């Protein structure tokens, strides 16, 4: 499996309110791959719930898909932050964020189910928006068509769907208010 690119010296930082409650981000490494694989599998659970495969076949499929996704991300987004999101050394999720002109790109953000619905994702996304706005940039991302919960979150934070989706993924973007950029 391809290694993660070297961590950026200026990596993304969480907002102070999250840091004050014990949250942190840190660069990902090879030792993180097992829990990242589990996070990936959890993110696909609803989608694959009705697939009548034996557990070993389903696991082999998920492992293959995770490896392909990982290889794509590290090859095509080598300049991105590849970060673990943690609270007091408990793994909560991952953030892959490319901070480059013309827009910041959220390559991937995912939280384990037990970390969702508590404001963590919103706080991270708002910080990404603030960082982008300070540089006069927007924020772009893609959301799977079947992930209505994530899409609603993005819409609440001002993201709008833009043309160019492929049916499986919907592109969305957020533009900084003129007064902030």
d(CA 79, CA 100): 9
180 pLDDT above the threshold of 60: no
Q: What is the CA radius of gyration of the chain?
A: 16
What are the tokens at 12? 């993304």
For 103-148, the pLDDT digits (tens) are 999 999 999 999 999 999 999 999 999 999 999 999 999 999 888 8
Sheet holding 103-111, edge to edge: 23-27, 81-87, 90-99, 103-111, 138-144, 169-174, 160-161
The pLDDT confidence band at residue 179, using thresholds 50, 70 and 90, is: low
How much is the pLDDT for 97? 98
How much is the pLDDT for 74? 97
Identify the H or E element spanning 68.
Answer: helix 55-76
pTM of the prediction?
0.94
d(CA 3, CA 151): 30
């Amino acid at each position: 499996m391809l290694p993660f690119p070297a961590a950026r010296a200026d990596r993304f930082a969480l907002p102070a309110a999250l840091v004050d409650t014990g949250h942190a981000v840190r660069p990902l490494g090879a030792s993180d791959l097992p829990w990242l694989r589990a996070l990936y599998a959890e993110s696909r659970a609803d989608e694959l719930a009705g697939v009548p495969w034996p557990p070993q076949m389903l696991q082999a499929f998920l492992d293959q898909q995770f490896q392909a996704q990982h290889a794509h991300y590290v090859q095509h987004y080598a300049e991105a932050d590849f970060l673990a999101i943690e609270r007091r050394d408990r793994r909560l999720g991952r953030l892959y964020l490319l901070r480059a002109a013309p827009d910041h790109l959220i390559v991937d953000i995912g939280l384990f189910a037990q970390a969702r619905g508590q404001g963590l994702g919103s706080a991270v996304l708002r910080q990404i928006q603030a960082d982008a706005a300070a540089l006069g940039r927007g924020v772009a991302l893609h959301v799977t068509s079947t992930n209505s919960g994530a899409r609603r979150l993005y819409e609440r934070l001002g993201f709008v769907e833009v043309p160019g989706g492929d049916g499986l993924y919907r592109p969305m973007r957020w533009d900084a208010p003129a007064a902030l950029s």
